[in-house]
Structure 1
Amino acid sequence: MTAAKVQHWNASDGVELAFHEVGEGAPVILLHGLFSSAEVNWIKFGHAARIAEQGFRVIMPDLRAHGLSGKPHDPGAYPKNILVRDLHELIARLDLTEYLLGGFSLGARTVLEAVVGGMMPERAVLAGIGSDVLTNWSRRSGFFLEAIRRFNEVERGDPHWLSVQFMKTMKIDRVAATQLLGSMVDYDSSDAVAAAFTMPTLVVCGSEDDENGSAEDLARLIGAQFTEIPGTHMSSVTSPELGMAIAHFLAS
């Protein structure tokens, strides 16, 4: 498999963003999780290659404040639903009229917000999230903001330890990450979510991943296919079953 190529572009507010691309065929856009990157989430463990081998053009943005994309500190660069706006602009820039769309964790929540906002991919994939993702953002973002605030104090055994270690590994810009965490809000109702997902959708989640509630409940809510793979929220990304499940669903 050819190595993924990296391209850069400027969003409407001037922030330079990056995306990785591999394969040829029907376009599928994959969004990575919080504090991660396209390289770590989709490329490193072979998921993008597995999907590309099924005849897809796999497009993997580095989200704003992550990876090779810009990390502005200006609060004005992080209005509500900025990741959805960036996604809309990337799709327009690539002149895509038909595409498939998936994400893991924060990426999956971004897919959810985009679809509720009217985006209509031919198929959707929500990985690493459950039914609580609709209502627990204040709690989850508060946890990560606390990890950032106590970045240099957290010791092994602290609930924030793994998040801090991952941020260190990924060399996260904590100022930019703090701004981004404030750009998303909770949903008051699940009705809009259930009504929006009219396209075939896969919910895929680790067997030990309950950080965002029940993935099976989310699948039932939106009438999606559910697939369980090995692992926790962190380790399931390394499981080959993640890419296999997504590739099988998109190609079916």
Structure 2
Amino acid sequence: MQKFSHQGFDIAYLDRAPETGGGEPVLLVHGFASSMQVNWVGPGWVKTLTEAGYRAIAFDHRGHGLSAKSYDPNDYTPSLMAGDAAALLDHLGIQKAHVFGYSMGARVAAFMALANPDLVASVIFGGLGYGMVDGVGDWDPIAEALIAPDPATVTHPRGKMFRTFADQTKSDRRALAACIAKSREELSEADIGRIRQPALIGVGTTDDIAGSAQALAGLMPHAKAFDIVGRDHMLSVGDRTFKAAVLDFLREHPLS
């Protein structure tokens, strides 16, 4: 694990090359309340990608994991977090990469693809479909659950799920509550249509957060949807069929 600084934040990251060296870079952008360890290392993504010959790069968002924290909601817009991601690639001297985001990370990846089209060769959105456009439900109870003094008082189902997850990952819950206030900025259908890179959108068939992968793919000129069968929002991340689909997609769209 290494760190670099951007806009006053020390951002933790990892950079793993395949045993043969080199490899096309794949930037991994984790979801809300998660980390590079929880989202990408633990479920085997870094191992899967490096064994397939890719260079896996992952980082902890500001406010998450081992990166610096802020309690100001204005520090957590998708544009600012996409700027961190682009700055990491610049820090590593990478001029073009595949970008793979999960859940909130998919939203950040979309903002990055729009702001830095020459830097983003292809995009993979996991755990977020049409919710990128019409929102993903009421998240105010999640912020309340995160800062509740006693987790036993949390009754909202989704709030309880994320409070438990944040406690399990030993996250800074106050920073997460600030993040959730601003990180849900939506993109319009016209915005999504301007993402012209090849795209893969994978959503679990029992995911009640993400929205339709097919509906989002239908707005983009070069996108396809993938159903992660029988998986919900949390379990889709490490699904074997999704990993296979991602590797197929990357092989179909080499950087060259």
TM-score by length of 1: 0.88
**TM-aligned CA distance change 1:153 to 1:141, over 3 Å:** same
User: Cα distance 1:203–1:29, how it changes in 2: closer, same or farther (>3 A)?
Assistant: same
**Are residues 1:7 and 2:2 paired?**
yes
Change (3 A) 1:144 1:151: farther
* 2:70 aligned counterpart, secondary structure: coil
**In the alignment, residue 16 of structure 1 is paired with which amino acid?**
D
Q: Aligned match of 1:144 in 139, 142, 161?
A: 142
Q: Which residue of 1 aligns with 2:13?
A: 19
Alpha-carbon distance in structure 2 between the residues aligned to 1:68 and 1:210: 29
Q: Which amino acid aligns with 2:233?
A: H
Query: Within 5 A, what are the aligned runs for 1:54-65?
Result: 54-65=52-63
SS of residue paired to 1:172? coil
Residues 27, 167 of structure 1: alpha-carbon distance in 2 compared, 3 angstrom cutoff: same
The equivalent of 1:3 in structure 2 is: none
Within 5 Å, give how 1:54-203 maps onto structure 2: 54-74=52-72, 77-78=75-76, 81-120=79-118, 121-136=120-135, 139-150=137-148, 152-154=150-152, 158-159=156-157, 160-187=159-186, 189-195=188-194, 197-203=195-201
CA offsets per residue over residues 162-207 of structure 1, 9 Å max, x none? Answer: 1111011011212211222233353363112112x21111001112
Q: In structure 1, which of residues 204, 214, 226 is the aligned counterpart of residue 212 of structure 2?
A: 214
Q: Compared with structure 1, are the counterparts of its residues 78 and 233 closer, same or farther at alpha carbon in structure 2 (3 Å cutoff)?
A: closer
CA RMSD in angstroms, aligned pairs only: 2.2
* Pairwise CA distance, 1:245: 2.0
Q: Secondary structure at the match of 2:121?
A: coil
Identity of aligned residues (%): 27
Q: Structure 1 residues 209, 145: CA separation in 2 closer, same or farther (over 3 Å shift)? A: same
Aligned pairs, number: 244
| Structure 1 runs not aligned, ≥5 long | 1-5
Using the size of structure 2 for normalisation, the TM-score is: 0.86
| Bigger mean CA offset, 145-154 vs 124-133 | 145-154
- Asked if the contact 1:73/1:175 (under 8 Å) is kept, the reply is yes
Contact 2:106 2:127 in 1 (8 A): yes
C-alpha displacement at 1:78, in angstroms? 4.0
The answer to whether the Cα contact below 8 Å between 1:208 and 1:233 also exists between their aligned partners in 2 is: yes
1:76, distance to aligned residue in structure 2 (A): 6.2
**Could you tell me whether the CA contact under 8 Å between 2:123 and 2:199 is conserved in 1?**
yes
Deviations 1:24-62 (A, max 9, x none): 411110101111111111111212211222211010111
- Counterpart CA distance in 2 for 1:168 and 1:35 is 10
Q: CA deviation at 1:118?
A: 3.7
